[in-house]
Structure 1
């Protein structure tokens, strides 16, 4: 009887969604934005950088029609989460 109860309890626990991994980018580009106030001909002050760069990656992953976990592996730990854009998904239900 105890085994039947354990089997029934296990049957009601949903399986976790699959994890889909895209471990490496298909394409990477770099855009460097320079300080517009730096006088022409002046070298960048490497100790006081006011320039910054934007790294853009394109990754491909095949997702199931159901729920899935899509981790962003191989990217910097301090990525701004809201800057991630996922495209190619069907319209929301």
Structure 2
């Protein structure tokens, strides 16, 4: 439950191999990436992306609420909107 609430992926079963950047899966917050260590494969890309602060997608925990503000239990209906409650902007529809 902790892992899901914090948006932490379950290793290679949830992280596509060869398609994902460690930054997209919150590895910095887990101290799984070193920016002080010497060279490693992909180090330049990871460091550049981290310092530019441009991460186009990221794994985040979501909480789904109904129109009354109560948390939805069970499945979410496809076509439901994902809304940022702070800005009140629609981010995406659930597919």
| TM-score > 0.5, shorter chain as reference | no
Give TM-score, length-normalised by structure 2: 0.25
Indicate the structure with greater strand content: 1
Indicate the structure with greater helix content: 2
Q: Which has the larger radius of gyration?
A: 1
User: More relative contact order in 1 or in 2 (CA 8 Å, sep 6+)?
Assistant: 1
Give TM-score, length-normalised by structure 1: 0.25
